[in-house]
Amino acid sequence: MKTIKKLIKYFIIVFLIQSLCFPLLSSASTKEDLAKLKSSVKSEAAIVIEATTGKIIYSKNANTIKYPASTTKILTAIIAIEECSLDDMALVSEYAVTSIPSGYTNANIQVGETLSIKDLLYALMLASANEAAVVIAEHISGSNSAFADHMNEKATQIGCKDTHFVNANGMHNKSHYTTAYDMALITQYAMKNKIFREIVSTTSYTLPATKIYPYNSRTFTNTNSLIIVNKNNVSNNYYYPYAVGVKTGYTSPAGNCLVSAANNNGLEFITVILGAKAKDVRYIDTINLFNFAFNNYSFIKLKSKNNSVTNIEVENASDDTKKLNLLINSDIIVLSNIDNRNSNVEPKITLKDNLSAPIVKGEVVGSITYEFDGDTYKADLIASSDVERKVDFIYSLCIKILIISFILLFITGILIKRKLKVKNISKKRRHLYKSKGA
């Protein structure tokens, strides 16, 4: 009986802690919930975006330069995945191990070991192993600094404007910086990769034994508490059931950082927290961001593919085909918050210049554009049927004249051909008659 009471008491305490730390925001009004969120976010910089569209749901100092710490490794990982085979083997140099100062995390990787890119990626993203980042950098670019140049090129390609990295692992350097928005862009890009998603959502991993380290003791748990139900057999108060990654980070100058992704029935949000004063703050802020996004936003379909949009009359078309029904060639799905969910959106229809017959069924004849909650959604309009050219009197008369002319020419040709044939026969007969007379 005492045991049951203790269990009940334990669950009540856990419930109260979770309720206080991560209350689900009400869905009465997006504006009201946003006001509550603004007052609750304590980190220096924060952002939440929808993963498919990239729409910013909430931001705080999102374009302010900050130190990213180990969230840097997100870019290191996606470059390695794109440019290497997971089975590629990389040699651990002395520099890769000895260049990591005391106090920075490592996976006990040994000088002279040969590890696969796959093993290094799991050590990088789960254990946040700084030496693993250097090994990957040297394997791809020859050195940590050369790889950093490659990272900066990649960040620019992704769309980052305020990011500059000088190493592959995020060890502190005044010239190594980013913003919450840029980091969200990098993560949005990386999360499109199936291998990356699988790695960052893994809870634990064991490095294989090697000749230099012949033990299977290098097992590590993901540093991201959002995806761990229990830590050391103790209930984890920061576990978030929809979380699917991504990466933690910490240095004294950077503070506590956390880049996360959460997916609920296909709706996915990405959050970035930079400069939190404590670990619990980065998790509390992240969960509040997710709760706000999931409680207030969803996808709604404004128009379905192949639905009729409008009817038009086509110039120079025949009477029985001139009325053309225009169909939309793809679904129009928009991200909407609660306040805008019942909004009546009038689309803008644009037809091709000088649109006239003939038109083939399925031909693109224009476009339709919806402006919704500050974003633009566009699709093509296609013809639902063939449209034939109108045959007017003059055109018809010309056609008839051409046909009659062609027939007359054809008949004349035949008659001329026959006349020539008869003439040739007559000549042959006269020639034959003269020959016999001679």
Q: 95-112 burial by CB neighbour count: b if 16+ within 10 A, else e?
A: ebbebbeeebbebebeee
- Smallest CA-to-CA distance from 271 within 296, 298, 243, 251 is with 243
Q: Is 356 a catalytic residue?
A: no
Torsion of CA 91, 96, 98, 101, to 10 degrees: -150
Q: What was the pLDDT predicted at 130?
A: 98
The sign of the CA dihedral 187, 188, 191, 196 is: negative
Q: What was the pLDDT predicted at 402?
A: 81
* Interval 210-252: pLDDT, tens: 999 999 999 999 999 999 998 777 788 999 999 999 999 999 9
Q: How confident is the model at residue 438 (pLDDT cuts 50, 70, 90)?
A: very low
Q: Out of 43, 70, 141, 336, pick the active-site residue.
A: 70
Query: Domain spanning 304-383: which superfamily?
Result: D-Ala-D-Ala carboxypeptidase, C-terminal domain (2.60.410.10)
Q: How confident is the model at residue 296 (pLDDT cuts 50, 70, 90)?
A: very high
* Interval 8-48: pLDDT, tens: 444 444 444 444 444 444 445 788 999 999 999 999 999 99
Q: Is 143 a catalytic residue?
A: no
Mean pLDDT of 121-130: 98
- Smallest CA-to-CA distance from 291 within 24, 15, 53, 8 is with 24
Class of domain 20-296: alpha beta
Position 65 pLDDT exceeds 90: yes
Domain ranges of the chain: 20-296, 304-383, 392-424
DSSP state of 79: H
Q: What is the mean pLDDT of the chain?
A: 89
Q: What was the pLDDT predicted at 412?
A: 83
Position 125 pLDDT exceeds 90: yes
What region, left, alpha or beta, does residue 54 occupy, with left being phi > 0 and alpha being psi -120 to 50 degrees? left
What region, left, alpha or beta, does residue 139 occupy, with left being phi > 0 and alpha being psi -120 to 50 degrees? alpha
Report the share of the chain in percent with pLDDT over 70.
88
Q: Is 29 a catalytic residue?
A: no
* Interval 347-368: pLDDT, tens: 999 999 989 899 999 999 999 9
Supply the Cα-derived Rg of the chain in whole angstroms. 36
**Strands annotated E in 222-307:** 230-231, 234-235, 243-251, 255-264, 267-276, 297-303
pTM above 0.85, yes or no: no
Q: What was the pLDDT predicted at 433?
A: 61
Q: Out of 73, 118, 154, 303, pick the active-site residue.
A: 73
Task: Report how far residue 169's alpha carbon sits from residue 176's, in angstroms, rounded to the nearest whole number.
Answer: 10
Task: For residue 376, give Cα distances in angstroms to 305, 333, 355, 379.
Answer: 17, 11, 25, 10
What region, left, alpha or beta, does residue 275 occupy, with left being phi > 0 and alpha being psi -120 to 50 degrees? left
Position 163 pLDDT exceeds 60: yes
* Interval 382-402: pLDDT, tens: 999 999 988 765 666 677 788
Q: Out of 43, 128, 141, 225, pick the active-site residue.
A: 128
Mean pLDDT of 65-75: 98
Q: What was the pLDDT predicted at 408?
A: 85
Q: How confident is the model at residue 426 (pLDDT cuts 50, 70, 90)?
A: low
Q: How confident is the model at residue 428 (pLDDT cuts 50, 70, 90)?
A: low
Position 109 pLDDT exceeds 50: yes
Give the least confident one: 137-151, 260-274, 336-350, 357-371. Answer: 336-350
Contact 196, 208 (CB under 8 A): no
